Amino acid sequence: DQPAEDFFIILAGSVQKVVESTDPSKPGIPIAQPLVPSAFFGEKALVEPNGRRACSMKTVGNTELRRLQRQTLQRVVEESR
């Protein structure tokens, strides 16, 4: 249960939602279909003031992401007023 601070957009590759395992030989157990280019995750980080991470995400192979930090969005919003 960690704070959510970043929003991600997938540009290439894919990202898998996983449940963390207590077994070191199983780093993450997939629980949904992988997200593919143009999909996004982490939106709670931008819209909920005290947002918490709902799950863990792992990249699948070579993946390219873009990240937007909550503090960056807040600064842009403040500057646009």
| pLDDT for the residue numbered 73 | 86
Note the pTM of the prediction, 2 decimals: 0.81
CA distance 54 to 28: 14
| pLDDT for the residue numbered 72 | 92
Distances (CA, A) of 15 to 40, 69, 78, 79: 9, 18, 32, 33
pLDDT tens track for 21-64: 777 777 778 888 999 999 999 988 888 888 888 888 999 999 99
| pLDDT for the residue numbered 20 | 76
